[in-house]
Amino acid sequence: MQRLIDAFINSVRAFRKLAAHEKAFQQELMLLALALPAGWFISVSWRGYALLIGAVLLLIMVEVLNTGIEAACDAISREFHIEIQLAKDCGSLAVLISIVIAGGVWGIALIERLIGAPI
C-alpha cells in the first residue's frame, strides 16, 4: 500500500510542477475544462462522451510523457546531440499525433451531432 501512496504523491508533485511551469500542459488543462461540459452537449451517448474526454486525456498523457522525455534529455546534456534531438522530435511527433486523434474524434462527434445520426 505504501508504494501506491508514494506513487500518488509523486504524481501530484509532477502535476503541480507541470501546471505551474509548462505552458502546453496549462493549455491542455484548459482544453479539458472546456471539453467536460462541451462534450456533454456534443456527444450523442455516454460512450461518445467517454471517447471525447478520453481523447483529450490521451493528449494530456502524451504531453506529460513528452515533457518527461525533454526533462531527461536536458538532464543528460544541454549540448546538441543528434540522438537527443531525435528523442525530443519523436516526443513532439507523438503530441502532434495525439492532437490529430483528438481533433478527429471531436470532429466526428460534431458531424454526428449536426447530421443527427452516427457516421
Residue positions in the annotated binding site? 3, 22, 24-28, 63, 70, 79-81, 88-89, 92
Residues flagged as binding site for substrate: 3, 24-28, 63, 92
- Looking up cell 461540459 gives 37
Binding region for a divalent metal cation: 22, 70
How many whole angstroms separate alpha carbon 39 and alpha carbon 50? 9
Q: Which residues are catalytic?
A: 63
Q: What is the DSSP letter of 116?
A: T
* Burial (0-12, 13-18, 19+ Cβ within 10 Å), 32: middle
First to last CA, the chain: 45
